[in-house]
Structure 1
């Protein structure tokens, strides 16, 4: 027998070379597993590499799995929209087309919880406002890149639904552009997390009073029930939905608590007449803005508000205390509020009629219309909204609590001037019971 060759001390052992194996020679299941770990750009490149890879990599279910892994909440929200109301770039499109549209900045309409958290001048805590939302440029690039994608169980793709990912990729963010508040420019917020997005309530519109027949009425509300109520600071502003707790109910007149504000704030407790299909003046004072429709919440919706900072519901022992603290306005006060609102509506109608008359005159005699346009009609047309925009608001949009804007003495004076009970911050709100769980569906 031939002696084995001597091995040099310290030499590294090397495995004998093995024949190379092309990617296309892998079994189909293994090849699908490899492709499922690629991002959108790499999938597109693989589809162009060979006819065999192209047939596999072009499968739309790879893109469905990618979107489900990287934008799970957005996919769930858009899938819940009725087809007629879905964005044009989403309805009836392939998952590859949807991903391409999202990466290109395609917009969609959603509501955003707690808008503008970095805005120190306003406080939108526990509110939801309509916005035009799109994927931020940095997130659009990350959506197409080779971030950790899902792994398809069993190595095969079956069914037409997005596969369940075993690991989620890094969270992508969005850009939200809110509707302008009257004459103020529109506000754009960057880096909005997907968890802050939600669908607008069915039947709602940013400039219409919410009037769903099942929940827009104050009938059947209970003390301590948590609701969403529409609020806007000026008549030309869009509505936002605000989380509130019912303190007491008398007919269509409610006392609502915004418990995110301290008890010393004039926004902690407000009087809100709910009139189905109509807006009404909050607190009997136009400077507090207007209240619109009301939404009763399901258990899951209350849990969602908790996730965005809503306090726990009042303990059962605190409900009687809430009702005892209530102070109601008289029928005469409500009548005065209705008359004030009617006067505002009449002024706006007169201004609109004056503008229509000028437009009709311009069609007949432009020269005469130009002379008339320098008169009182344009002034009247702009007087009502301009006067309202110039009106001093206690803290609006119910933004920064008044206690943060004024000293304790000035805050107490403002509370007394508003006709509300003077309660100092030293008197804390009764804490909820430790074991209190969110209320079930009403």
Structure 2
């Protein structure tokens, strides 16, 4: 009876009434599920208000991305919501990879991942359950021969866009990173990977010394007793370089300077405060000089010899793709330096803005009213 009465009302009156619902997910869902006519009268801005109220950071990131997925770019908010709740993927970087695993040493890093809205969050988004936090599932790129890691329960505050021009399998900026203007105590991001077959991640570090392409970095997130606390990272134009002249320490790619906003974003994810004057003096005093007789690359000859040995090993197994994988496994078997002392990773991550419009709890979701989204590839 109620539906029949509603059908007698003109479209203009129904649109005006529906427009009073604001960003209440359950109310919008209830209206959209009454009939196809009412579903078609729900203005797209209401679907947009629903998404932005619960996923403000994600919406901002995808709108700003030059490589946003097809299901988001130039689509209506209704189609975008359908893609999100269907679990369609998008590319992003995740701060502090594998935060839920305290045994991993990815503190103050950012790694590329394929992300999608977690099923429980999708149901809460549709039903208007404001008590359910929005979480994502992140599938990271494979580390050589190791199985890909999938991390669940990633809050949207840990997502960011990859730096413009960044490639997990390429040296940032062609490796042309000048130390001109870099000063002791400046905070930067540097590409680093553990093995040649691994993808690069971005790491937050502090400049201790910069001369030509010879840069010493201090990672203050690790204690001074850690082998990772201070490293020598030569920047080689166009290609990766060996850290500390020892392949077991991994490889460095490019280096990028940070804006004030980027530095503050790292702070929100646990980065230490900028070095105080006395800390800067300590950095300079602890400086490990690079001899003027050295080449621009630290221990370049030794590093080149080690790389040649690895290349020869790879050539021995170059008969096919499977043999190349075996060569990668040989490299992964190289001994790595001792890990830093075990430390619980306890970061106070920023919570979602509670002042955002929260969705009221209530009825079922608008699955029937949303267009069908294509499944992930």
What's the TM-score once normalised by structure 1's chain length?
0.69
2:71 maps to 1:71: no
2:259 maps to 1:298: yes
- Tell me, in whole angstroms, the C-alpha distance in 1 between the residues paired with 2:325 and 2:301: 21
In structure 1, the residue matched to 2:336 is 393
- The structural deviation recorded for 1:382 is 6.1
Helix, strand or coil for the counterpart of 2:34?
A: helix
- The structural deviation recorded for 1:404 is 3.7
- Tell me, in whole angstroms, the C-alpha distance in 2 between the residues paired with 1:277 and 1:299: 27
In structure 2, the residue matched to 1:308 is 269
Aligned residues of 2:244 and 2:298 also touching (Cα < 8 A): no
Helix, strand or coil for the counterpart of 2:190?
A: strand
- Tell me, in whole angstroms, the C-alpha distance in 2 between the residues paired with 1:384 and 1:355: 6
Higher RCO (Cα < 8 Å, 6 or more apart): 2
* C-alpha distance after superposition, 1:220-261 (max 9, x if no partner): 201000000111111111111000001112221111110011
Segments of structure 1 that go 5 or more residues without pairing to the other structure are: 1-21, 149-168, 360-376, 406-442
Aligned residues of 1:287 and 1:391 also touching (Cα < 8 A): yes
- Tell me, in whole angstroms, the C-alpha distance in 1 between the residues paired with 2:317 and 2:105: 36
Aligned residues of 1:226 and 1:302 also touching (Cα < 8 A): yes
Aligned residues of 1:112 and 1:196 also touching (Cα < 8 A): yes
2:215 maps to 1:233: no
* Greater mean deviation of Cα atoms: 120-129 or 317-326: 317-326
- Tell me, in whole angstroms, the C-alpha distance in 2 between the residues paired with 1:61 and 1:37: 12
What's the TM-score once normalised by structure 2's chain length?
0.80
Q: Identify if the C-alpha distance between structure 1 residues 264 and 23 changes in structure 2 by more than 3 Å, giving closer, same or farther.
A: same
2:158 maps to 1:196: yes
In structure 2, the residue matched to 1:56 is 41
In structure 2, the residue matched to 1:106 is 88
2:21 maps to 1:34: yes
User: Within 5 Å, which residues of 2 pair with 1:251-290?
Assistant: 251-290=212-251
Helix, strand or coil for the counterpart of 2:192?
A: strand
Aligned residues of 2:165 and 2:172 also touching (Cα < 8 A): yes
- Tell me, in whole angstroms, the C-alpha distance in 2 between the residues paired with 1:103 and 1:133: 13
Aligned residues of 2:310 and 2:331 also touching (Cα < 8 A): no
2:98 maps to 1:137: no
* Greater mean deviation of Cα atoms: 346-355 or 197-206: 346-355
In structure 1, the residue matched to 2:78 is 96
| Pair member with larger Rg | 1
- Tell me, in whole angstroms, the C-alpha distance in 1 between the residues paired with 2:223 and 2:39: 62
- The structural deviation recorded for 1:347 is 4.9
* C-alpha distance after superposition, 1:136-194 (max 9, x if no partner): 1111111111335xxxxxxxxxxxxxxxxxxxx75300000011111110000000000
Helix, strand or coil for the counterpart of 2:254?
A: strand
- The structural deviation recorded for 1:318 is 2.7
Aligned residues of 2:25 and 2:125 also touching (Cα < 8 A): no
- The structural deviation recorded for 1:287 is 1.0
Segments of structure 2 that go 5 or more residues without pairing to the other structure are: 344-377
- The structural deviation recorded for 1:95 is 1.0
Paired residue for 1:217, among 156, 175, 178? 178
- Tell me, in whole angstroms, the C-alpha distance in 2 between the residues paired with 1:266 and 1:38: 51
Aligned residues of 1:74 and 1:194 also touching (Cα < 8 A): yes
Helix, strand or coil for the counterpart of 2:299?
A: helix
Q: Identify if the C-alpha distance between structure 1 residues 118 and 27 changes in structure 2 by more than 3 Å, giving closer, same or farther.
A: closer
- Tell me, in whole angstroms, the C-alpha distance in 2 between the residues paired with 1:378 and 1:31: 60
Q: Identify if the C-alpha distance between structure 1 residues 346 and 269 changes in structure 2 by more than 3 Å, giving closer, same or farther.
A: closer
- Tell me, in whole angstroms, the C-alpha distance in 1 between the residues paired with 2:105 and 2:314: 33
Aligned residues of 1:73 and 1:195 also touching (Cα < 8 A): yes
* C-alpha distance after superposition, 1:69-104 (max 9, x if no partner): 11111100000012xx22011112111111111111
* C-alpha distance after superposition, 1:396-431 (max 9, x if no partner): xxxx51x349xxxxxxxxxxxxxxxxxxxxxxxxxx
- The structural deviation recorded for 1:37 is 2.8
